[in-house]
């Protein structure tokens, strides 16, 4: 597991996927979400606009990132 720092209190899931390097572009993030490949706190998530906050765990396959405050 690795940590990804965010500046504000929350960040949209699609933005986090790009920031964490799990998706290269917004379209890639959208495709991963639509395919049910992304989990937030161990639950499948399909909404690109979902807000994630410090403490949340986001996973794609074996990659797991924890959102932390800057």
Q: Which domains does the chain have, with CATH numbers?
A: 2-69 (3.10.290.10)
Cβ pair 60, 37 in contact under 8 A: yes
Region 5-17 average pLDDT: 95
Mean pLDDT over all residues of the chain? 96
pLDDT for the residue numbered 3: 97
Region 38-42 average pLDDT: 98
For 23-38, the pLDDT digits (tens) are: 999 999 999 999 999 9
pTM of the model: 0.93
User: Using CA atoms, how far apart are residues 15 and 35, in angstroms rounded to an integer?
Assistant: 17
And the tokens for 52? 């994630």
pLDDT for the residue numbered 70: 86
């Amino acid at each position: 597991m690795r940590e990804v720092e965010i500046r504000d209190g929350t960040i949209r899931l699609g933005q986090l996927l790009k920031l964490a390097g799990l998706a290269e572009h917004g379209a890639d993030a959208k495709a991963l979400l639509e395919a049910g490949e992304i989990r937030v706190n161990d639950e499948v998530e399909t909404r690109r606009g979902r807000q994630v906050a410090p403490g949340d765990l986001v996973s794609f396959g074996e990659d797991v990132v924890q959102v932390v405050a800057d």
